[in-house]
């Protein structure tokens, strides 16, 4: 198992319930792919460095987890089709 982190940005136009649902979707997707020790830190609303999908602000969330590398394509496929996620990045922590 390797340590990973995912930073994803949700639209600030979502309601609080929709933001929580987006976070839960990511956590559930990770768990389904076999991730363990999932820890989520909400960074909240922040100004984006550059506009993404015509948005100037985003709701930042950082999630740390452990996963073997074979589950990553499944996670990325799910995140790519999730409209509430403006952008995401998965990084391996060593």
Per-residue confidence (pLDDT) for residue 1, from 0 to 100: 87
Domain ranges of the chain: 2-87
pLDDT tens across 67-76, in order? 987 889 999 9
Say yes or no: domain 2-87 is CATH 3.40.50.2300.
no
Amino acid 17: pLDDT: 96
What tokens does 31 get? 């768990």
Per-residue 3-state assignment (H helix, E strand, C coil) for 24-63: HHHHHHHHHCCCEEEEEEEEEEEEEEEEECCEEEEEEEEE
**Residue 75 in contact with residue 63, Cβ under 8 Å?**
no
Return the pLDDT at 70.
87
Interval 20-66: pLDDT, tens: 999 999 999 999 999 999 999 999 999 999 999 999 999 999 999 99
Both tokens of residue 22? 């987006």
Is 94 a residue whose pLDDT tops 80?
A: no
End-to-end CA distance of the chain: 11
């Amino acid at each position: 198992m390797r340590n990973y982190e995912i930073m994803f940005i949700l639209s600030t136009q979502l309601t609080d319930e929709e933001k929580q649902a987006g976070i839960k979707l990511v956590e559930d997707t990770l768990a389904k792919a076999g991730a363990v020790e999932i820890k989520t830190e909400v960074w909240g609303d922040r100004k984006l460095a550059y506009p993404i999908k015509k948005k100037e602000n985003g709701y930042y969330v950082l999630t740390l987890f452990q996963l073997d590398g074979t589950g990553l394509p499944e996670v990325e496929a799910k995140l790519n089709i999730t409209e509430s996620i403006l952008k995401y990045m998965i990084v391996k922590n060593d």
